[in-house]
Chain A
Amino acid sequence: MDQDAARLLFSLDAALARWLAAARMRLGQIQMETLPPPQAGFRLRHHDDAGRPHEELALFTGGADDAVELARYDDAGNYRPLKTAPNLRHGWRLEALPDLPALRRALDAFYPARLGALLAFENGRLPVTPLRETLARQTGMYRITQKLTDAQADALVGRFCRSDGGCLRTILWRRDLAGTPASSHLPPEKFEPAFDQTGHGETRSLPLLCQEACNLLVAEARAVIKGERTAAAASAVDC
């Protein structure tokens, strides 16, 4: 493969152009829109706000820097440590995204590295790590998570990763090398990239793929082992 072909294959901007051309304008809770001239470029907003008049939505024009701030807090002003949690704030529109790189950077601020995960998945190059491998790697205060039983892992993932209130990612990893599903408490569509995890039935949404258990889940596993199941106890773990 020559370098130009490789660049096209692995370029996020080129991939984004392909996805937009296929009318795939949803990423998680974000609705993308192509603006007609004279504005041109792109606009982003919460998909729940898609039917609201523009003037009702607060205008942001600061690109990815504004996206970082919009993604930081939920509607109640609480910090969002997990960007793929289904609690993106409402009432804003992000405009002045003139081209694909600007759009890509903004989307990447809302959902860090998820476009890259999707591109790697489409290219067959997304590394996927079983939960047991992730836990076996831990040291320090998280080494204890290696004691998580299968039953505890099953319940934990079923509770922590569920799309309705937990995380909108589509889980690709298995519990172990034997291929045990991540959790028997999650519906089959939680593992299906074509399914819209927001529950809105959008058939062409871009999935937020999960290739490996996140550090929040590892921290929660520690809380389970130590008998600190409450949200407050789990949130105090931050080292």
Chain B
Amino acid sequence: MQERGGLAREKRGKTQKKNPAEISRFFASFAGYLLRVIPKLDAALLIVGHGSTVNPDSSAPSLAHAATIRRRGLFAEVACVFWKEEPALRDWPLLFPDPTIHDIFVVPNFISEGYFTQTIIPRELELTGDLTERDFPAGQRWHYCPPVGNHPAMTELLLQRAREVAPGVPERETSLLIVGHGTGLNDNSAVAAKQQVAAIAALDRYAAVLSTYMEEPPHIADWAKLTDTPNVVVVPFFISDGLHSYQDIPVLLGLEPEPTAAASQQAVFRQNPRHLHGRALYYASAIGTEPRFADIILEQTAALALA
């Protein structure tokens, strides 16, 4: 399957004349707005999530965003499928049997292009590219959209999360660590986090901005060695407060001696900051729990049309 390119990044210069990238972004934004308000009643939206067999919170954001979009009445149907939960990716032929549904927009609720978006999802959904025309259900056109993590709004959402988790903490005395999964299965997995770090670093607000990972260097477990500021803010570039961001990474950070119960089964969410290695450590909830992701999912369907 051909690899898709990312969306054009927002230029931050102060030029008076709009360049092509700015014009393109304006139209993408306008198309995104239209898509958020104009019903497409001959179309369905399919949100693809990872899900979990051990953590009950993994699928929660995808289900919540689907419910939000369903209430807006923009699509004939809004459904989710998961790799590790039900309905499964392989249930795709069962989801939209209504012959009045002609177009299916598939949006991966994943942080990056990588093993899942480029191998697992196309294989399990039997997608042949950005557009797949089906014999059955007859004439259905399945549009494979970019993952939510590719959206240009991610940078601002990460910054917002960082500010919310450490209110009033001077950014010039703070290191911001964006932590992603990383995997040896696909070189692209870590790229999204690196891109976000580059974009945030270019703003020159924080003393340092670093990308770190669970499964490849630089490892999040080395956070104290990687930073030298009195404050460290860690934002998980993950979809949910599930197994990795709520149970695994806190152990790697030293916040917990061993994995705790799932977030939804805890009486209270973690308190910030925690003082470790002589630093104030702030740990945010996963970026994908942000309610604005519902709009981002909708805008990714427009991004495909403009690609």
When distances are taken between beta carbons in the complex, the residues of chain A under 8 Å from B199 are none
When distances are taken between beta carbons in the complex, the residues of chain A under 8 Å from B229 are none
Give the total of A residues in contact with B, Cβ under 8 Å.
Answer: 39
A238 in contact with B88 (CB, 8 Å)? no
| A11 CB-CB contact with B under 8 Å | yes
B55 in contact with A83 (CB, 8 Å)? no
| B100 CB-CB contact with A under 8 Å | yes
Given A3-B99, A137-B123, A140-B115, the answer on whether A113 and B94 have CB atoms closer than 8 Å is: yes
A79 in contact with B83 (CB, 8 Å)? no
Binary CB contact string for chain A from 202 to 226 against chain B (1 if under 8 A, 0 otherwise)? 0000000000101110010000000
Complex: chain A residue closest to B137, CB-CB: A10
A6 in contact with B99 (CB, 8 Å)? yes
When distances are taken between beta carbons in the complex, the residues of chain B under 8 Å from A127 are 93
| B25 CB-CB contact with A under 8 Å | no
Q: Which of B83-122 contact A (CB under 8 A)?
A: 83-88, 90-91, 93-95, 97-100, 115, 119-120
When distances are taken between beta carbons in the complex, the residues of chain A under 8 Å from B137 are 10
Inter-chain CA distance A119–B63, complex, in Å, is 24
Given A113-B91, A215-B88, the answer on whether A72 and B56 have CB atoms closer than 8 Å is: yes
Partner of A82, one of B56, B63, B86, B136: B86
Inter-chain CA distance A65–B100, complex, in Å, is 26
B90 in contact with A120 (CB, 8 Å)? no
| A96 CB-CB contact with B under 8 Å | no
A79 in contact with B86 (CB, 8 Å)? no
When distances are taken between beta carbons in the complex, the residues of chain A under 8 Å from B52 are 81, 238
Partner of A81, one of B54, B93, B123: B54
- The range of chain B's interface size is 20 to 34
Q: Which of B9-64 contact A (CB under 8 A)?
A: 52-56, 63
Inter-chain CA distance A180–B225, complex, in Å, is 57
| A19 CB-CB contact with B under 8 Å | no
Nearest Cβ on chain B to A193's Cβ, whole angstroms: 15
When distances are taken between beta carbons in the complex, the residues of chain A under 8 Å from B115 are 140
B95 in contact with A113 (CB, 8 Å)? yes
Inter-chain CA distance A43–B290, complex, in Å, is 33
Complex: chain A residue closest to B63, CB-CB: A68
| A73 CB-CB contact with B under 8 Å | yes
When distances are taken between beta carbons in the complex, the residues of chain A under 8 Å from B262 are 79
Inter-chain CA distance A236–B63, complex, in Å, is 23
Partner of A73, one of B56, B86, B120, B185: B56
When distances are taken between beta carbons in the complex, the residues of chain B under 8 Å from A146 are none
Complex: chain A residue closest to B181, CB-CB: A239
Partner of B97, one of A10, A72, A212, A216: A10
Inter-chain CA distance A11–B52, complex, in Å, is 30
When distances are taken between beta carbons in the complex, the residues of chain A under 8 Å from B97 are 10-12, 116, 119-120
When distances are taken between beta carbons in the complex, the residues of chain A under 8 Å from B98 are 7, 10-11
Nearest Cβ on chain B to A116's Cβ, whole angstroms: 3
When distances are taken between beta carbons in the complex, the residues of chain A under 8 Å from B93 are 120, 125, 127
Complex: chain A residue closest to B184, CB-CB: A140
Partner of B86, one of A3, A77, A113, A237: A113
Given A125-B136, A140-B115, A212-B90, the answer on whether A116 and B95 have CB atoms closer than 8 Å is: yes
Inter-chain CA distance A101–B123, complex, in Å, is 31
| A235 CB-CB contact with B under 8 Å | yes
Q: Which of A67-98 contact B (CB under 8 A)?
A: 68, 72-73, 77, 79, 81-84
B84 in contact with A238 (CB, 8 Å)? yes
When distances are taken between beta carbons in the complex, the residues of chain B under 8 Å from A3 are 99-100
B56 in contact with A112 (CB, 8 Å)? no
Inter-chain CA distance A113–B94, complex, in Å, is 6
| B232 CB-CB contact with A under 8 Å | no
| A100 CB-CB contact with B under 8 Å | no
Inter-chain CA distance A237–B55, complex, in Å, is 12
Q: Which of B72-92 contact A (CB under 8 A)?
A: 83-88, 90-91
When distances are taken between beta carbons in the complex, the residues of chain A under 8 Å from B198 are none
| B243 CB-CB contact with A under 8 Å | yes
Known pairs A6-B99, A113-B91; list 10 more (Cβ under 8 Å): A10-B99, A81-B53, A111-B86, A112-B87, A112-B91, A113-B95, A125-B93, A125-B136, A127-B93, A140-B119
A-B contact pairs, 23 of them (CB 8 A): A3-B99, A7-B99, A10-B97, A10-B98, A11-B97, A65-B67, A79-B56, A79-B262, A81-B54, A81-B85, A84-B86, A116-B94, A129-B90, A139-B119, A139-B120, A140-B119, A215-B84, A216-B84, A219-B53, A238-B52, A238-B55, A238-B84, A238-B243
